[in-house]
Chains A and B, each alone.
Chain A
Amino acid sequence: MAKLRYAEALNRALREEMQRDPLVFLFGEDIGSYGGVFKVTRGLMDEFGAARVRDTPISEQTLTAMAVSAAMAGSRPVLEIMYADFMPLTLDALINQASIYEYIWADQVRMPFVLRTQGGGGAGAGAQHSKSLDSLVAHIPGLKAVAPATPWDAYGLLKSAIRDPGPVIFLEHKLLYNMRDEVPDGEETVPLGRARLVREGTDVSIIASSRMVHESLLAADRLAGEGIAAEVVDLRSLRPLDLDTLLGSVARTHHAVVVNEGWRFCGYAAEVSATLMDHAFDDLDAPVARVTMPDLPIPYSEPLERAVLPGPDEIVAAVRRTVA
């Protein structure tokens, strides 16, 4: 089984889908001749030409409206928005067009496009280039949102996202691009809406996505030293939420800690937490805990950034409080 970097796994998925389906094309800022600022699209312009891998001017609002239009016209665009922090510029096309056109036009149009972007802190990129805005997109009915934590899932989920008949927001993490791990050799997709049990445990379910999965695994290692067996669930898809897997896990452990790199107030972790209370109340032996970014800008200073980002320390502390 090949080991690829997360960025390479994405590149392979894009290449294979473009080979498989001539309707798939890419566009975005610096994705063509430069190969993308994180090199996800490296080599694709050479292989597929400038008509299918398009460099665009800097206007996320226009680009997203283009994706909507191209999808309506029958192609399968894959748009790259360089930083998740720029997602606010895409929102009109997402909220007022992409997510509702199938409804408004009574199924006369389809909206098969993927908006790829990357977010997250830890790279010293400052308050305008480090955010995790999961809840911003997961909030919108009609959109799917995925956030792969591994090269395997990056590969398999991107293929599923491109093949999906509706709009999918694909949230990558800048600190994961260099993570190298196994990717399936053959054609294999990862279905949307399906979480993955990464580590089994009996005492608490740590529910995370994207880079926070790895932070949760570090926390689980430390907790094991204290005699606490933590289960780690990688959501993979933020929406639709794989409720069955979550409920199954909480029914085993009776304790849940939700970890999300985004802000706390009205955040994604709040949604998961409330959903667990709705569906698993009688399975819970303690309130569901959240581990999130505090409601602050993300500092440029490295020590300060480290201080605000959730990590194993915060997760371990939340687990201890929960199982107390």
Chain B
Amino acid sequence: MALFEKQFTEIRDFLKQREGTSAYREFVHAAPASWPSGMRRSVVLAQDMAVELGSPQEESSSCLIWHDDPARVRDGHITLIGPDIGESTGKGLPFGKVVLVSADGFNEENSYDRYRELDGVRYDLDLKGYMMRAVSQYQREWSRVSAEAVKDGFSFGVLGGSLIDALRRKEYVRAVEVIFVTASRGDVSGLVPIADGAMRIIGALNKMLQELEFDCDTCDNTDVCNDVAELRSMREKLMKKGETGHGR
């Protein structure tokens, strides 16, 4: 299933444009991440904070997209464009995050639920000294890291590794790659149209599953369906199932 073919290509282009610059680096997450639990007391107040990522006053973009071809996802790779958490010179940084997942068995009926499940994993990360607030609707993610956590070595390697580990626990996930961007507002804003495009596809997918009628003349998502062949194919399959009484 290649719902996000265009976004995968755009992400690779985004990375290619920055590869080789001093801001660009990659890590490979080999061993499972080990970081103490926050015991669900995850509020990091400004006085205890070393760095704030993607606050409401800063640029922020976050999305998760998937592909059925494992070759499109470099499993365990964490790419960072910009300063790492411990290298931040100021308290606030713009923040971009893209999670690429390769997974088996996504189809017209389970794709949206599985997306929700994968997207929900970030809320379950309970890392000491790390606080995260996210709004899927706006593709924004706002987080704070405490000074104590930074002193103990918290980094995007730890954060990305923990996310990769958690996503890999889903039985249908084959590969996970994470990209973080903190270099500049301009760099993060380069991710915004990609995340917007992904969100429109996810919105169309949700609508398709929620609404039994498929009237393209009145649907707000016609342009998205016209752009994404996979969505059209899913819609046709759902329509056929509806006609034969095997719909959702």
Q: Do A and B bind each other?
A: no
A-side residues, CB < 8 A to B, are none
